[in-house]
Amino acid sequence: MRFRSAPAFAGIAAIALMATACGGDEGDGGEASGGGELVVWTDPERADAVQAAAEQFSEANGINVSVDSVAFEDMQGDVLNAHQAGNAPDVFIGAHDWTGNLVRNGAVQPVELPEDRAAMLDGTALDAMTFDGQLFGVPYAQENLFLLRNTALAPEAPATFEEMVEAGTRLQEDGEVGEVLSMAVGQEGDPYRMNTLFTSAGGYLFGQDDTGTWDPADLGVGTDASIEAMERIAEYGEDGSGVLRRSITTQNDAALFFDEETAFFVAGPWNLADADESGIDYAISPVPGFEDAGPARPYIGYQSFFVTEGSANSALAEEFVTNLVTDTEFILGLYDADPRVPVQADALESVSADDPNVAAIAEAGAEGMPMPSIPEMGETWQPLGVAQAEIIGGGDVREAMEAAARTISEQIGE
C-alpha cells in the first residue's frame, strides 16, 4: 500500500477535536457514530486500502475510524435501510448513478469541495456527482466500455462500426473466427452496452436542460430520432447481417473472445485480468461509431464516496471525504486493490505510466456520457432492454420502441 503520512490529513485535527467535543452522546436517533468516531462502509475488495488510510486519519486526528465491509451490490439498499433505522454509516462508497435515489430518500448530504481539491478532479466526474445544482459526494475513479481487439487477427483499430464489421466478416468468411463481433445483447436486451451504438445513430434516453441536468420529462425512447437509430442498428440484427444476436450474452461474450472465436469484443475493465491470463495479444480502443454519424458514447460510471445525511459527525465526515478522497496516495492505494481509471490528474498520470491500458481505457471513454443519476433511470432498463432485444430479433422497430416509451412513461409518472 502507498500512503503519505501527513499532507492528506493536515488541517483536519481542529475539526476532529471539535467533533469530539460536541458529539459526546448518540442522541435520540441512535446513530452508529458519535463522540469523535467515524464509521465508513466499503466493499471487501477495497476494505484494506480504506482501513490503512483510516488508521492514519485516526492517528492524526485522535478519533476512532471504524471501517466495515458490505457487499457492493448490497450497499445502496443497506445504506437506505440503515438510514431509516437511524444507524447508517457516516461515509460510504458507491456508484454515482445512485445519487438521485439517495437524494430522493434523504440519505445523503451535499459536500463542499474546496476549489483547489476540485481542480484535481475531472470536471465531468464532478458534473456526474451533481444533482439539483449540489455536489453529493466525491468521485475517485471511473469505468467505461471499450473495444478489445485481438491484434493477431485485426492489427488495426477500426475507425467505424462498418469498418469493424467488414474486417470481422472477412475473418469469418476465411474460417478464422466464428463471430464477427462479441457484443452482449441477451434475450432481455442490454441497454448499457447498446447505448454505444444507440447514441452514435442519434438515439437518446433522456434529454438535458440548460444546466445539463437530466430531464425525465424529455423521454427520447419513442421519438423519431431514437426509432431511426434502432432501425439502423436493426440492419445488423438477426434479420439483417446477424452481427448482433440475442444468443450472445454476458455469460458467453468473453469466452468468444478468449477462445479466439472473434477478433472484436465490446468489453469492460472487469475483463482485463482474464485478457492478461489468456495469452492473447490485445489492444484497447474506443467502440467505433457508425460512419457519417456521431461517436459511440459508452456510459461512464463513477465510483464515489458519499456522506450520510444526519451523521453525528457530518463535518468530520465531509473532511474525510473532501481531503482524503482527493489525495493521490489514497487513490493509488485504492487502485492497487481495485484497478479502475482514476479521475484525479496526478493519480491518473502515475498509474498510466505503469500500465498503458489505463490511458487507453480513459481515451475510449473520452466521448462517453455519465450514466444518468436521476431516480427515473431505474425504470428504463427493463422496458428499453426488452424493446432492443425484440428489434435485434427482427421485431417491428417503431412498435417496440413506442411500447417501451409508454411503459417507461407510466412507471415514472410522466
Is residue 21 pLDDT above 70, yes or no?
no
pLDDT at 60: 84
- Superfamily for the 145-299+373-412 domain: Periplasmic binding protein-like II (3.40.190.10)
C-alpha 409: how far from chain center:
25
What mean pLDDT comes out for the span 34-51? 88
Kindly give, in sequence order, each residue whose CB lies less than 8 Å from that of residue 215, ignoring residues fewer than 6 positions away.
Answer: 206, 207, 208, 209
pLDDT at 213: 81
pLDDT at 360: 95
pLDDT at 237: 98
Grid cell, residue 335, equals 487502485
Instruction: State the pairing for strand pair 341-342/138-144.
Output: antiparallel
For 162-174, the pLDDT digits (tens) are 999 999 999 999 9
Asked whether 70 and 78 are in contact (CB, 8 A), the reply is yes
Phi-psi map region of 302: left, alpha, beta (phi>0 left; psi -120 to 50 alpha) = beta
Instruction: State the pairing for strand pair 146-150/341-342.
Output: unpaired
Is residue 9 pLDDT above 90, yes or no?
no
pLDDT at 94: 97
Grid cell, residue 266, equals 465490446
Residue ranges per domain, the chain? 7-143+300-369, 145-299+373-412
Q: Poorest-confidence range of 33-47, 194-208, 357-371?
A: 33-47
The residue among 84, 127, 134 whose CA lies nearest residue 109 is 134
Comparing 29 with 61, the larger pLDDT belongs to: 61
Confidence of residue 315 (pLDDT cuts 50, 70, 90): confident
For 219-238, the pLDDT digits (tens) are 999 999 999 999 999 999 99
114: exposed, middle or buried (C-beta count within 10 Å: 0-12, 13-18, 19+)? exposed
Is residue 16 pLDDT above 60, yes or no?
no
pLDDT at 14: 36
7-143+300-369 and 145-299+373-412 agree in CATH topology: yes
**Domain 7-143+300-369, classified CATH 3.40.190.10, yes or no:** yes
